[in-house]
Amino acid sequence: MEEVLKLQQKIVPELVDLLEKRYNILRTIYYNQPIGRRVLANNLGIGERIVRTEINFLKAKNFIEISTPGMTITSEGEEIIDKLKDFIHHLRGLSELEKIIKENLKLRNVIIVPGDLNEDSTVINEIGKAAANYLKSVIKDNTIIAITGGSTIKQVIDNMPKLSGLKGTLVVPARGGMGRNVETQANTLAAKLASKFDGNYKLLHVPDNLSHKAMDTMIQETDIKEILNNIYNANILIYGVGRADLMAKRRGLSDKETEDIKTRGAVGEAFGYYFTRDGEIVHSSPSIGIRNEEIGKIETLIAVAGGKSKAEAILATESNNPNGVLITDEGAARELMSFFK
């Protein structure tokens, strides 16, 4: 297939460009339906006249329907989107990117979806779907899954299909809660993921940034001890990766602390730890939950993050991680390549 694609790109590059454009239009409609033509044009950054021409073609092929609320995808359109995914993956050379990043970061596996989350918000759905499919492939009976919170991890859970036949599964939050949005907190997501395969879950009602005295008191509680034991014995950890500066603000660090971790070279954050580009931990947010010294014992670590702006944070948090699996997008992947030169 690779040779055929290279020939197509050399001989009829305009057809390849047209294919990608129509695929992007279909995918954008799918994730925003019902959607109007003007909003679609704005989302894609192309002119309304071009959109009108393509919409007429897609409607004539019965890939979309047009009604008063807006455009929607037909079952035939969904089938086309699904079948084109692998083709677009090969077309953009993402298989080769996956191999290079896997070797340079020394990870178990790398999965890249087309697009850049910084430029196209619908890409988060594709990242979530790819991560959900991978998670589905590694879950087995008596698995303990620890998860962090965040909007990206929420997409993973939302895209996780219903599974049957699993026994003894347990889902736990990886650490204390963060933020005011209950929908994206680890406790909420743990319960939701467990419901996808009729598994069990436990909640950890502990906020971030506790004082050390408060933490020492709480971890003596029987219920807290029990859930911490589950977290430390997790088989799978699913977590998001953030930029150090943004996550410091989100986790409520003081201006002085934020400036300090920036001065010390922190560029990435994962499960409350702040990493330099070389992977050195320079700060951690006090919380009850997963500890960095326990990470290496976990069989499968699934990091989920997308967007060109996350590339340096991914480099900082994911290097030299033989149990690690990175699920990301093309924008972050191509930016990561610049660090390997």
Find residue 321's DSSP bridge partners: 107
pLDDT of res. 171:
95
pLDDT of res. 288:
76
pLDDT of res. 91:
80
pLDDT of res. 188:
92
pLDDT tens digit string along 21-43? 899 899 999 988 999 989 999 88
pLDDT of res. 71:
94
294-323 b/e (C-beta count within 10 Å ≥ 16 → b):
bbeebebbbbbbbbbbbbbbbbbbbbebeb
Q: Within 10 A of 211 (CB to CB), how many other CB atoms are there? A: 9
pLDDT of res. 177:
62
Architecture of the 2-91 domain: Orthogonal Bundle (1.10)
pLDDT of res. 184:
86
Cα 149 to Cα 211: distance, rounded to the nearest angstrom: 21
- Fold classification of 94-337 is Rossmann fold (3.40.50)
Asked if residue 22 lies in contact with residue 53, where contact means CB atoms within 8 angstroms, the answer is: no
pLDDT of res. 6:
65
pLDDT of res. 89:
85
- pLDDT below 70 — which residues of the chain? 1-9, 12-13, 177-180, 207-212, 214, 286, 341
Q: Where in the chain is the domain with CATH 1.10.10.10?
A: 2-91
Helix 94-105 vs helix 75-91: angle between axes, to the nearest 10 degrees?
60
Q: Which residues contact 331 (CB under 8 A, 6 or more apart)?
A: 115, 116, 117, 118, 119, 123, 306, 307, 308, 311
Cα 103 to Cα 322: distance, rounded to the nearest angstrom: 10
pTM listed for this prediction:
0.87
Q: Within 10 A of 336 (CB to CB), how many other CB atoms are there? A: 25
Q: Where in the chain is the domain with CATH 3.40.50.1360?
A: 94-337
Cα 261 to Cα 284: distance, rounded to the nearest angstrom: 10
Cα 187 to Cα 179: distance, rounded to the nearest angstrom: 12
